[in-house]
Amino acid sequence: MNKERVNRVVLVGTGAVGCSYAYSLINQGVAEELVLIDVNEAKAEGEAMDLNHGMPFAPSPINVWNGSYQDCASADLVVITAGLAQKPGETRLELVEKNTKIFKQIVKSIMESGFDGIFLIATNPVDILTYITWKESGLPKERVIGSGTVLDSARLRSALGKYFNVDTRNIHAAIIGEHGDTELPVWSHAMIGIEHLDTVLERKGDLKKECLEEIFVNVRDAAYQIIERKGATYYGIGMSLVRITKAILNNENSILTVSAYLNGEYGQNDVYIGVPAKINRAGIQEIVEIQLNDKEKEQFNHSVLILKETMKPVI
């Protein structure tokens, strides 16, 4: 008798980010199975128990349990949020050496199970750790994805929505580049509803183009501001990871600014970085290469350079 195929997601890391992802996943009814793995097994078990107690209120049933790396063998998606968190005043790139060591062991353990699905990475510095995961796993580049600038783009849309008094879901704007200090806004392609950003600014005399730089700086530095106030960021990235998960498991062909491997796109090679990409059941189906203006090209190339220089000691 054939068993009905179910979507299994394995989450490695049950800290604040991982649990925010798990909670969001259950509330949106995205998968049929969710396995929690953590070096602290008791913590993972407790989280699984707690999440299961809310299942009567979920939109659809999800089988949740604390497991082991062996559960990755039949997983469709492994999401890694494990690793050391960013401390107040610490940049994402400063985490690179600490978390690279942790990641190499995690990926080795996952691959030893026979895993042949898709990796989704959230731990910082996410672009570099996604590259490490790709190298260590031996999987095709299309099936190793980083959360990239999906959250940054959401922060930008949120800020622009408030500024223009428009539903954030009708703001079409993106942050690309490193998920960090060298990221950049793609103002040349930003749309408010179906109008170009510049058109709206011209039409509304009380809105100033100079305010855009302030909006971007607040978006870029949002993590620092949140960490200073509450110690960590986790709800936003948790929901961002669920958005990517839905695009994968539902075969959506959605375009999201994930961390993807460049092989000639945007004139760059051998780097994972945040760019628009079409996401479906195969992973990254296509990198969307948009036309950047001269300033954006210069900023993007600088972002690549910083990432490559930071990666050198760990690859």
Catalytic residues: 179
Longest dimension (CA), the chain: 68
Residues 219, 66: Cα–Cα separation, whole Å: 35
Angle between the N-to-C axes of helices 235-249 and 16-28, in degrees from 0 to 180, rounded to the nearest 10:
50
- Residue 27: count of CB within 10 angstroms of its CB: 14
Angle at 150 between CA 148 and CA 154, to 5 degrees: 150
Question: Any idea what DSSP says for residue 59?
Answer: S
Q: What are phi and psi of 121, to 5 degrees?
A: -110, 135
- Ramachandran category for residue 170: left, alpha or beta (phi over 0 → left; psi -120 to 50 → alpha): alpha
**Rounded-to-integer distance, Cα 270 and Cα 135, Å:** 11
Residue 290 to residue 276: CA distance in whole angstroms: 8
Q: Rg of the chain's alpha carbons, rounded to an integer?
A: 19
First to last CA, the chain: 47
Contacts of 214 (CB under 8 A, 6+ apart): none
